[in-house]
Structures are given as C-alpha cells and as structure tokens.
Amino acid sequence: MVLLTGNRRIRTAVFISGKGSNLKSLIKFSKTNKSPISVELIISSNSKAKGLNYATIYKIKKNVLNFKNNNLSEKKLLSILKIKNIKLICLAGFMKILSNNFIKKFKGKILNIHPSLLPKYKGLNTHERVLNNKEKYSGCTVHFVNSRLDSGKIILQKKVKISKNETKTSLAKKILAQEHKLYPKAILKVFNL
C-alpha cells in the first residue's frame, strides 16, 4: 500500500468498542519518529468504552456511533471520515461488523487485530475455545479486512505458548501484551518500512 506523500503522515482513524489498550499503543507509536501514521480520530461503537478516555488524554477527536441502525451509523461514519480526510482505518477491539459497502469504500485500507492465530479461531470467545481444544499455542494476527469475518490477507502474526495452568484471563493478558507490539510492526510492514 503506497499512501505516503512527502513527509506527511497517513491520517488514521482507530475504531474501538472497549478498553482501548491497542488504541493507546497505536497512539504512542504514532508519536514516534518512525511512524507513517498519525491518529486523527477515534470512533467508538460504545459510549461507555474506557478507550474513549484516550481521546481526552491525547487530545484526539472522537465520535460515538451506536450502530443500532447499521446503515445510518455507517452513513454518518463515512461522512465523518471524509471530513477528517481519513486514509487508513485500524480496528482495535471494534466489536461491530462493517458492511461490504463500507469495506469497499476503504478497500485495502482497513486493518484489524484478532487474538488468535488466524485462520484458526475466527469470531468471538477465542481464548475459551483455544483452551477447550487443548491447543499448545495461540497468538494474535494483524490482517487486512475484507468482506468475510477475520478472513482478509494476513500481514503479521505472533505465536505464544500456552502454559500448563493457563486460564482465559491469563491467556488474554499474555496475548494482549503481544498485540501492542504486533500492530505497530504490521503497520510498518504495510508501508514497507
């Protein structure tokens, strides 16, 4: 993906629904010299998302859209993204499914992070299913978003070993720590940096 022009950074929106720890790591990364992106907008599908606090902390514009009427919310969203001249979207714990129409409008410009070694364990309750299946390894994946859930081209993955007494919570924590490193790395890779 070649979007870089001169020294200008890619105007990026991060979509969240919850805690926003990946959002925080992306904002921190965006402030480093090597980052090709600048986080200009935070979109949340949940007005109570803790991650919205980072909008205040880092003085970044935010919008909450409830997606109760998907069509209407996406219409509003597209107009907000246009006004803010957003060129890249990073989904970071965003728990809504974007329509094909929306994805087409940002073709090849939406990234997602998922807490499993895709193509294994698409969808929800990943850690629980991984543990129930007695897997030896799990991990996280950054991929391009296409019209099928958690199925777009894989950019980077990180594998983690599952410990003997692993629980859903400990595994989620272990993987999340890797996600915070993987997302920035994947962005550098997307821009051939």
Q: Residues in the site for ligand GAR, rule: CB under 6 A?
A: 16, 18-22, 51, 92-93, 113-115, 176, 179
117, 157 contact by CB (below 8 A): yes
Is the CB of 22 or the CB of 73 nearer to ligand GAR? 22
CA distances from 29 to 61, 109, 121 (A): 18, 18, 28
Rank residues 75 and 185 by Cβ distance to ligand GAR and give the closer one: 185
Least distance (Å) from ligand GAR to the CB of residue 70? 17
Rounded to a whole number of angstroms, the minimum distance from the CB of residue 125 to ligand GAR is: 9
Give me the active site residues, please. 114
User: What is the closest distance, in whole angstroms, from the C-beta atom of residue 28 to ligand GAR in the complex?
Assistant: 13
**Nearer of residues 25 and 35 to ligand GAR, judged by Cβ:** 25
Which residue's beta carbon is nearest to the bound ligand GAR?
93
Let me know: does 145 contact 111? Beta carbons within 8 Å: yes
